[in-house]
């Protein structure tokens, strides 16, 4: 009798449950939490701008993964091989070196403090100076203002590419730290007055020919105090300022006093930087080509070929570009061809050393 009663109650309960749930659309029915199986998020593969060189292997299939012993005697579970490192580039030492920091009213900036050891040498990316191949340095300019462009440049280009950051960038310390961790040598962009100023304005801290040396030095100090860990500065714009010896010389002297190198972008062909830098014994190097004044594949490829010609002629060459997507794309195609052509891609400090040696 009891068994019949249990059976009747079970049938009635099941019918009632089906009646209630039948009024709800299947897509809207809730599932008890204990029946939910959480799956790991999908792994999204983002292709790198710089593709690793493919190598031929005798075996076309990957090696079998080792088997993990199972104490319960069940089927062994294969252990996946360890993931490759995210970057094969050498990570540069984190700044600042306390022996190379000058404390000012605003912040800290690089300065010689250690018996001739200079920031442009301490913060340089290591390079084999015995390598006699023609050297090519590429500098990506005005980084830090676009998160996407800056991140792509830091992570997707090889560490031999030098990165120059805008002093107006937010989170500049984090950007420089990230760049150096990826192996990149770092410059600061130094905004200077162009010929068409104020129509083309390099910003509130730019060096101007209309300002006294004292005011320009304050602007320079502001830029240098924004961050540490850079090897030097390069002018951003400056087609007017770099032609004025009176305005330029105090600034270059200040860079010399701080143990920094100067990359002249050659925004003007009338620049007296060579003469002044020689007088001051300032580590100096000049740009040879702007790679993306015309941001097209054909134009950029043409400039890259011109860079190769210059490097073969004088033993080294420098190219400056902006982080345009098309520029990063063409660099990613071009860089893997350099070794076969007999060139070596180097940080900007290696070109300064070469220029210093040849003078």
What pLDDT score was predicted for residue 43?
30
Question: Is position 40 within any domain?
Answer: no
CATH number at residue 280: 3.20.20.370
Encode pLDDT of 280-302 as tens digits: 999 999 999 999 999 999 999 99
* pLDDT tens string 52-97: 333 343 433 333 333 334 444 443 333 333 333 334 456 676 665 5
Is residue 50 assigned to a domain?
no
Confidence band of 168 (pLDDT split at 50, 70, 90): very high
Q: Does 286 map to a domain?
A: yes
The total domain count for the chain is 1
Q: Domain residues for 331?
A: 134-358
| Axis crossing angle, helix 297-314 with helix 325-334, rounded to the nearest 10 | 50
Mean pLDDT of 135-141: 98
In a domain, 192, yes or no: yes
DSSP 62-117: PPPPPEEP-TT--PPEEPPPPPPPS--SPPPPPSPPGGGEEE-SS-EEE---BTTB
Map tokens 């300019």 to a residue: 141
Which class for 96: exposed (0-12), middle (13-18), buried (19 or more C-beta within 10 A)? middle
| Residue-averaged pLDDT of the chain | 79
Higher pLDDT, 145 or 10: 145
pLDDT at 359 over 70: no
| pLDDT at 25 exceeding the cut of 70 | no
Q: Distance of alpha carbon 244 from its chain centroid, rounded?
A: 32
- Asked, for residue 258, whether it belongs to a domain, the answer is yes
State the Cα–Cα distance between residues 110 and 231, nearest whole angstrom: 9
* Lowest-confidence region among 1-15, 40-54, 155-169, 288-302: 40-54
**Chain-centre distance for alpha carbon 284:** 22
> How confident is residue 324, by pLDDT bands cut at 50, 70 and 90?
very high
pLDDT at 36: 30
Q: Taking residues 245-267, report their average pLDDT.
A: 97
Packing angle of the helix pair 172-181, 147-156 (nearest 10 deg): 20
- Whether 289 maps to a domain, the answer reads yes
Residue 155 in domain = yes
Verdict on whether the full-model pTM lies above 0.75 = no
- Would 143 be classed as within a structural domain? yes
């Amino acid at each position: 009798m009891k068994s019949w009663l249990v059976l009747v109650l079970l049938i009635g309960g099941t019918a009632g449950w089906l009646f209630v749930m039948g009024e709800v659309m299947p897509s809207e029915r809730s599932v008890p939490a204990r029946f939910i199986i959480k799956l790991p998020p999908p792994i999204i593969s983002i292709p790198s701008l710089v593709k690793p060189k493919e190598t031929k292997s005798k075996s076309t299939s990957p090696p079998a993964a080792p088997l993990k012993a199972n104490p319960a005697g069940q089927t062994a579970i294969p252990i996946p091989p360890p993931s490759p490192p995210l970057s094969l580039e050498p990570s540069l030492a984190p700044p600042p070196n306390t022996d190379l920091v000058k404390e000012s009213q605003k912040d800290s900036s690089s300065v010689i403090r250690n018996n001739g050891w200079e920031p442009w040498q301490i913060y340089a990316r290591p390079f084999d100076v015995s390598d006699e191949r023609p050297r090519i340095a590429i500098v990506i300019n005005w980084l830090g203002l676009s998160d996407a462009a800056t991140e792509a440049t830091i992570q997707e280009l090889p560490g031999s590419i030098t990165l120059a950051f805008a002093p107006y960038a937010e989170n500049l310390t984090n950007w420089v730290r990230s760049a150096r961790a990826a192996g990149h040598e770092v410059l600061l962009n130094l905004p200077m007055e162009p010929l068409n100023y104020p129509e083309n304005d390099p910003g509130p801290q730019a060096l101007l020919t209309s300002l006294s040396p004292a005011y320009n030095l304050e602007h320079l100090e502001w830029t240098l105090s924004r961050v540490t860990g850079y090897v030097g500065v390069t002018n951003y714009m400056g087609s007017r300022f770099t032609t004025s010896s009176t305005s330029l010389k105090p600034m270059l002297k200040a860079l010399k006093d701080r143990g920094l190198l100067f990359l002249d972008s050659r925004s003007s062909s009338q620049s007296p930087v060579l003469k002044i830098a020689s007088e001051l014994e300032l580590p100096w190097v000049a740009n040879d080509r702007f790679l993306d004044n015309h941001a097209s594949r054909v134009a950029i490829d043409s400039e890259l070929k011109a860079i190769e010609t210059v490097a073969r002629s004088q033993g080294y060459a420098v190219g400056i570009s902006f982080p345009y997507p098309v520029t990063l794309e063409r660099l990613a195609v071009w860089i893997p061809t350099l070794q076969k052509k007999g060139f070596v891609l180097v940080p900007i400090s290696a070109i300064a050393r070469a220029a210093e040696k040849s003078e």
